[in-house]
Amino acid sequence: MALLEVKNLGIAFGGLRALKDVQITIDNGEIVGLIGPNGAGKTTVFNLLTDVYLPTEGTIELEGNSIVGKKTYEITQHGIARTFQNIRLFKYLSVIDNVKIAMNSQMKYSGFAAVLRLPSYWKEEQRVEEKARELLRVFDLEQYAETRAANLPYGQQRKLEIARALATDPKVLLLDEPAAGMNPTETLELMETIKLIRDRFKISILLIEHDMSFVMGICERLVVLDYGMIIAAGDPEEVRADPKVIAAYLGGE
Amino acid sequence: MSKKNKLAPYMKKKLISYLINFLLVVAGFVVINVLTTLGVIDRYIAGILTMVCINIILAVSLNLVTGILGQLVLGHAGFMAVGAYTAALFTIHSGLPLEGFGGAITFLLALVLGGLVAALFSVIIGIPALRLKGDYLAIITLGFGEIIRVLILNLDFTGGALGLRNIPGMTTFNWVYILAALTVYIIYSYMLSRHGRAVLAIREDEIAAEAAGIHTTYYKMAAFVMAAFFAGVAGGLYAHYIGVIAPSKFNFNYSVEILVMVVLGGMGSITGSVIAAAVLTILPEALRAFSDYRMLLYSVVLILMMLFRPGGLLGRSELSIAGLGRWIKRMAQRFAAWLRRRKNGEKAPKKDKKSRKKGEVQ
């Protein structure tokens, strides 16, 4: 059974059908790329998967359970985490707090226990502190743990956002243009990091990206959107040779 | 066993700082009590100190919503009014003992009841306002503050415009001091927990907070209800201190006065609110000598503050002994460097500030 199964997904904003009949399946441990020209509806797919918008048609199933209509935070707790196209960090908080916040739903102590500083508070805080540092180490960010997130260089901020998404313990990670604004070296480094986290955390990844060398180098499967519809899907090499895809990107008659 | 050892240093450092702060609070308590018995603090000063403590409770609780959660509240005096009237009506009509130990229990019950009723109102207001993203809370609380005032003015059992009289004067300095310290502790310790982090995350970026698995509506409600509770308690303390409460006291101006304390102290800084509440309560009294000009001076002080420290006294940071130590050390180093330069007859390096900033980023 597929991990994430999207069937006949569609959304209409009034008379505008932004997405129509979208089918995406993601298996365990896969890295799938979602590409398409600007305005094709890629981010809208992400927004439907995380309940920013409610789909007008179709189903979304995570491990066989429908997640349509669940709240965003519930979906995150069920195992779909995301990053944003424009970085959305908690800027004035420290790097480690950014990660700890994402671990909130894995902690159980009550507000009462927090105020009285009961043993459960100390135990869980200690556990999360260690876990957050470990995660930062994977991303080579541990030395910045106490730095304000806003003071990190751009590439590191992107990494921190991925680290924060991973801290929610997801099964599927949605990355919205992770390499946007990065220089070639940073992009290469990011490719390695993404492969590493897939293997290490045993998760599947769905990513939106415009950098074709990045997409070709990392994705095992591609889905191409244009005008809200899927025009091609499958192996990266096949997709690249597909005349419809070429027409969508370069224009055709 | 090994787990306990790993836990120890983390806990120990925190516990020591808690202990120091606790001892400071106790020391302050003892000093003020000694000064009172010696007669250094007369009734006038004691009255000001009582109002300082009540305003501290109000400012710190408002800071929880406005500074830390990032939602503007313009009707904090409304919650205070609800708490004041509830507590006062309870002690007047309950028939419970008003003296001695029984009196203390009655008073405590009245304060908690005042807080709970204020919290109940905040739930009713919060449910529609806080489910939305954005600044709806400001408008709704503004309306709430006015509605409560008008309601109290026109109801029979609240005494209308004449106010509620003959409220037993149970609020002593010891009560307000302990409760103010307790409020600061509760809000501070709540802040430094997973719950506080969630609240901060909402201020920073609500959409990202939700994507990180934070139940935003719940945490917004939690902070708002908590703030209303403490405002209610402060109201109860106020009512039993003044003895007569009238609706005109809890008007929009008073809400703004509390807000000014929060802004002046620094949005999100609890210790900043404490200092600002103290300064802004004492300032008008200290300026009494200038009689007619005192409100003018008060405004000038506020304007100067906002010009030179737009982020508030402490900005977003907290005042702590460790931080103070670091600051003194830094200043001492700077002074030593200055002395050295003076001795060698050099001029101050101009790029000093810039290079320091660069160093911080790396």
- Which chain B residues are within 8 Å of A155, Cβ to Cβ? none
Domain boundaries of chain B, sorted by first residue: 25-286+293-319, 324-361
Q: Is the confidence at residue B3, as pLDDT, over 60?
A: no
**CB half-sphere exposure, B12, CA atoms < 13 A:** 6
At CA A32, angle to CA A89 and CA A186, rounded to 5?
A: 50
In angstroms, what separates the C-alpha of A237 from chain B's closest C-alpha?
Answer: 33
pLDDT tens, chain A, 253 aa long: 689 999 999 999 988 889 999 999 999 999 999 999 888 889 999 999 998 899 999 999 999 899 998 999 999 999 999 999 899 999 999 999 999 999 999 999 999 999 998 989 999 999 999 999 999 999 999 999 999 999 999 889 999 999 999 999 999 999 999 988 888 888 998 999 999 999 999 999 999 998 888 999 999 999 999 999 999 999 998 988 888 888 888 776 5
Flag whether residue A105 sits within 8 Å of chain B, measured between CB atoms.
yes
Higher confidence at residue B19 or residue B228? B228
pLDDT of residue B7: 58
At CA A219, angle to CA A214 and CA A223, rounded to 5?
A: 105
Which residues, 6+ apart, have CB-to-CB distance to A10 below 8 Å? A17, A19, A20, A21, A22, A55, A56, A57, A58, A228
DSSP strand pairing (A31-35 vs A204-208):
parallel
Give which of A88, A96, A156 to mutate to test B binding, by max B Cβ within 10 Å: A88
- Verify whether the Cβ–Cβ distance A126 to B6 is below 8 Å: yes
Cβ atoms of A35 and A226 within 8 Å: the answer is no
- Which chain A residues are within 8 Å of B361, Cβ to Cβ? 151
* DSSP state for residue B41 in the 8-state scheme: S
Q: How confident is the model at residue B350 (pLDDT cuts 50, 70, 90)?
A: low
Q: Is the confidence at residue B349, as pLDDT, over 60?
A: no
Phi, psi dihedral angles at B270 (to 5 degrees): -70, -45
Range from A1-10, A147-156, B222-231, B334-343 that averages highest in pLDDT: B222-231
- Which chain B residues are within 8 Å of A88, Cβ to Cβ? 205, 207-208, 211
- Verify whether the Cβ–Cβ distance A90 to B200 is below 8 Å: yes
- For residue B361, the chain A residue with the least C-alpha distance is A151
- Which chain A residues are within 8 Å of B204, Cβ to Cβ? 89-93
State the ipTM, two decimals.
0.90
What is the distance, to the nearest Å, from the Cα of residue B151 to the centroid of all Cα atoms in its chain?
A: 26
Q: Which residue has the tokens 């992107």?
A: A158
CA distances A48 to A55, A226, B163, B207, Å, are 6, 17, 56, 14
Cβ atoms of B220 and B130 within 8 Å: the answer is yes
- Which chain A residues are within 8 Å of B197, Cβ to Cβ? 93, 97, 100-101, 104
pLDDT tens per residue across span B54-105: 999 999 999 999 999 999 999 999 999 999 999 999 999 988 888 888 999 9
- Verify whether the Cβ–Cβ distance A76 to B200 is below 8 Å: no
Cβ atoms of B67 and B268 within 8 Å: the answer is yes
Q: Which two tokens stand for residue B53?
A: 């403590």
pLDDT of residue B2: 42
Give which of B204, B221, B267 to mutate to test A binding, by max A Cβ within 10 Å: B204
pLDDT tens per residue across span B248-266: 999 999 999 999 999 989 9
Q: How far apart are CA A168 and CA A139, in angstroms?
A: 15
Cβ atoms of B294 and B284 within 8 Å: the answer is yes
DSSP strand pairing (A4-13 vs A16-26):
antiparallel
Which residues, 6+ apart, have CB-to-CB distance to B63 below 8 Å? B187, B262, B265, B267, B268, B269, B270, B272, B273
CA distances A210 to A34, A153, A176, A179, A224, Å, are 9, 22, 10, 8, 11
SS3 letters across chain A:
CCCEEEEEEEEEECCEEEEEEEEEEECCCCEEEEECCCCCCHHHHHHHHCCCCCCCEEEEEECCEECCCCCHHHHHHHCEEECCCCCCCCCCCEHHHHHHHHCHHHCCCCHHHHHHCCHHHHHHHHHHHHHHHHHHHHCCCHHHCCCEHHHCCHHHHHHHHHHHHHHCCCCEEEEECCCCCCCHHHHHHHHHHHHHHHHHHCCEEEEECCCHHHHHHHCCEEEEEECCEEEEEECHHHHHHCHHHHHHHHCCC
- Verify whether the Cβ–Cβ distance A122 to B190 is below 8 Å: no
At CA B86, angle to CA B82 and CA B89, rounded to 5?
A: 140
Tally A–B CB contacts below 8 A: 108
In angstroms, what separates the C-alpha of B291 from chain A's closest C-alpha?
Answer: 43
CATH topology of domain B25-286+293-319: ABC transporter involved in vitamin B12 uptake, BtuC (1.10.3470)
- Verify whether the Cβ–Cβ distance A97 to B208 is below 8 Å: no
- Verify whether the Cβ–Cβ distance A73 to B216 is below 8 Å: yes
Phi, psi dihedral angles at B320 (to 5 degrees): -145, 160
- For residue A77, the chain B residue with the least C-alpha distance is B213
CA distances B119 to A240, B82, B110, B282, B304, Å, are 61, 9, 14, 29, 36
In angstroms, what separates the C-alpha of B46 from chain A's closest C-alpha?
Answer: 30
- Which chain A residues are within 8 Å of B190, Cβ to Cβ? 111, 114-115
At CA B23, angle to CA B21 and CA B24, rounded to 5?
A: 65
Q: Which of A102, A109, A129 lies nearest to residue B212, judging by beta carbons?
A: A102
Which of A73, A76, A52, A55 lies closest to A9 in space, CA to CA? A55
pLDDT of residue B311: 81
Q: Is the confidence at residue B10, as pLDDT, over 80?
A: no
DSSP strand pairing (A65-66 vs A80-82):
unpaired
- Verify whether the Cβ–Cβ distance A92 to B316 is below 8 Å: yes
